[in-house]
Amino acid sequence: MKSNRHITLPAGFVAGAVRCGIKRREVEDVAIIAADDGPVPAAMMTTTNQVVGAPVRWNRRLLPRGHGLIRAIAVNAGCANTCNGPRGDRDAATMASLTAKGVGCALGQVLICSTGVIGQPMPMEKLRAGIAGAAAALSTGGDDAVARAIMTTDTRPKTAIVQGRLGGQRITVAGVAKGSGMIAPSMATMLVFVTTDAAIAASALHRILRTAADTTFNAITVDGDTSTSDTLIVLASGAAANRTITGGTDAQKLGGLLEEVCGALAEAIVRDGEGATKLVRVTVGGARSDAEARLAARSIAESPLFKCAVHGGDPNWGRILAAAGRSQARVDQDRASCKLGGVTVMRRGASCRFDLAAAQKYMAGSEISVELDLHLGSGRYTVLTCDLSREYIAINADYHT
Amino acid sequence: MKSNRHITLPAGFVAGAVRCGIKRREVEDVAIIAADDGPVPAAMMTTTNQVVGAPVRWNRRLLPRGHGLIRAIAVNAGCANTCNGPRGDRDAATMASLTAKGVGCALGQVLICSTGVIGQPMPMEKLRAGIAGAAAALSTGGDDAVARAIMTTDTRPKTAIVQGRLGGQRITVAGVAKGSGMIAPSMATMLVFVTTDAAIAASALHRILRTAADTTFNAITVDGDTSTSDTLIVLASGAAANRTITGGTDAQKLGGLLEEVCGALAEAIVRDGEGATKLVRVTVGGARSDAEARLAARSIAESPLFKCAVHGGDPNWGRILAAAGRSQARVDQDRASCKLGGVTVMRRGASCRFDLAAAQKYMAGSEISVELDLHLGSGRYTVLTCDLSREYIAINADYHT
User: In this predicted model, what pLDDT tens digit does every residue of B353-375 receive, in sequence order?
Assistant: 899 999 999 999 999 999 999 99
Asked if B50 has any chain A CB less than 8 Å from its own CB, the reply is yes
For the domain B279-398, what is the CATH code? 3.10.20.340
* A14 within 8 A of A34, measured Cβ to Cβ: yes
- Percent pLDDT > 70 in chain B is 97
pLDDT of residue B400: 60
Top pLDDT among A109 and B398 is at: A109
- Average pLDDT over every residue of B268-294: 94
Ordered by start, the domain boundaries in chain B are: 13-271, 279-398
Interface touch B51/A349, C-beta < 8 Å? yes
Interface touch A401/B316, C-beta < 8 Å? yes
Asked if A195 has any chain B CB less than 8 Å from its own CB, the reply is no
How many other CB atoms are found less than 10 A from the CB of residue B261?
Answer: 27
* B251 within 8 A of B43, measured Cβ to Cβ: no
pLDDT at B2 over 70: no
B chain contacts of residue A303, beta-carbon cutoff 8 Å: 224-225
A chain contacts of residue B351, beta-carbon cutoff 8 Å: 83-84, 119-120
B chain contacts of residue A80, beta-carbon cutoff 8 Å: 318
pLDDT of residue B1: 43
- Average pLDDT over every residue of B211-238: 86
Asked if B87 has any chain A CB less than 8 Å from its own CB, the reply is yes
Asked if B229 has any chain A CB less than 8 Å from its own CB, the reply is no
- Nearest Cα of chain B lies from the Cα of A387 at a distance, in angstroms, of 10
* A16 within 8 A of A134, measured Cβ to Cβ: yes
* B220 within 8 A of B298, measured Cβ to Cβ: no
- Average pLDDT over every residue of B244-248: 91
Q: What does the alpha-carbon distance between residue A303 and residue A25 come to, in Å, rounded to a whole number? A: 33
Asked if A10 has any chain B CB less than 8 Å from its own CB, the reply is no
SS3 string, B111-156, reads EEEEEEECCCCCCHHHHHHHHHHHHHCCECCCHHHHHHHCCCCCCC
Q: What does the alpha-carbon distance between residue B217 and residue B214 come to, in Å, rounded to a whole number? A: 7
**Regions in chain A scoring below 70 on pLDDT:** 1-3, 185-189, 399-401
Q: What does the alpha-carbon distance between residue B336 and residue B316 come to, in Å, rounded to a whole number? A: 15
pLDDT at B3 over 70: no
* B285 within 8 A of B293, measured Cβ to Cβ: yes
pLDDT of residue B399: 59
The mean pLDDT of chain B is 91
Interface touch B315/A394, C-beta < 8 Å? no
- Average pLDDT over every residue of B42-52: 89
Residue A225 CB contacts under 8 Å (≥ 6 apart), including other chains:
A181, A182, A183, A184, B303, B304, B305, B319, B322, B323, B326
Residues 162-191 of A with CB under 8 A from B: 181-182, 184, 186
Asked if A277 has any chain B CB less than 8 Å from its own CB, the reply is no
- Nearest Cα of chain B lies from the Cα of A13 at a distance, in angstroms, of 34
B chain contacts of residue A79, beta-carbon cutoff 8 Å: none
Nearest to A314 among B186, B228, B401 (CB): B401
pLDDT of residue A188: 53
Report helix, strand or coil for B196: strand
Q: What does the alpha-carbon distance between residue B91 and residue B79 come to, in Å, rounded to a whole number? A: 12
Interface touch B397/A314, C-beta < 8 Å? yes
Nearest to A401 among B304, B315, B349 (CB): B315
Interface touch A225/B323, C-beta < 8 Å? yes
pLDDT, tens digit, for every residue of B61-89? Answer: 999 999 999 999 999 999 999 989 899 99
Q: Which residues of A are catalytic?
A: 189
pLDDT of residue B180: 81
Q: Which string of DSSP letters, residue by residue, matches A350-398?
A: EE----HHHHHHHHTSSEEEEEEE--SSSEEEEEEEE---HHHHHHHHH
A3 DSSP 8-state letter: P
Residue B278 CB contacts under 8 Å (≥ 6 apart), including other chains:
B310, B311, B365, B366, B367, B368, B386, B387
Q: What does the alpha-carbon distance between residue A21 and residue A6 come to, in Å, rounded to a whole number? A: 25
* A396 within 8 A of B305, measured Cβ to Cβ: yes
Decide if B196 is catalytic: no
B interface mutation test: which of A182, A305, A347 has the most B CBs within 10 A? A305
Radius of gyration of chain A (CA): 22
Asked if A343 has any chain B CB less than 8 Å from its own CB, the reply is no
pLDDT, tens digit, for every residue of B84-119? Answer: 989 999 999 999 999 999 999 999 999 999 998 888
Residues 93-152 of B with CB under 8 A from A: 117-120
Beta strand pairing call for B279-287 and B367-373: parallel
Among B47, B152, B189, B195, the active-site one is B189
Helix axes A304-311, A290-301, angle to 10 degrees: 60
Burial (CB count within 10 angstroms: exposed 0-12, middle 13-18, buried 19+), residue B342: exposed
pTM > 0.90: no
B interface mutation test: which of A91, A229, A326, A346 has the most B CBs within 10 A? A326
Interface touch A224/B348, C-beta < 8 Å? no
Nearest to B322 among A225, A323, A325 (CB): A225
Report helix, strand or coil for A206: helix
Residues 382-401 of B with CB under 8 A from A: 388-390, 392-401
Interface touch A400/B118, C-beta < 8 Å? no
- Nearest Cα of chain B lies from the Cα of A284 at a distance, in angstroms, of 16
pLDDT, tens digit, for every residue of A140-160? Answer: 999 999 999 999 888 899 999
Least confident range of A267-271, B118-122, B179-183, B284-288: B179-183
Interface touch A396/B305, C-beta < 8 Å? yes
Alpha-carbon distance values, B270 to A277, B7, B78, B364, B384 (Å): 29, 21, 21, 18, 7
A5 DSSP 8-state letter: P
Q: Which CATH superfamily is domain B13-271 in?
A: L-amino peptidase D-ALA esterase/amidase (3.60.70.12)
pLDDT, tens digit, for every residue of A362-374? Answer: 999 999 999 999 9
Interface touch A393/B389, C-beta < 8 Å? yes
Interface contacts A/B by beta carbons within 8 Å? 219
ipTM of the complex: 0.82
Q: What does the alpha-carbon distance between residue B14 and residue B72 come to, in Å, rounded to a whole number? A: 10
- Average pLDDT over every residue of B343-357: 91
A interface mutation test: which of B46, B47, B51 has the most A CBs within 10 A? B51
Interface touch B119/A309, C-beta < 8 Å? no
pLDDT, tens digit, for every residue of A4-30? Answer: 899 999 999 999 999 999 998 899 999
Nearest to B396 among A87, A117, A305 (CB): A305
pLDDT of residue A189: 59
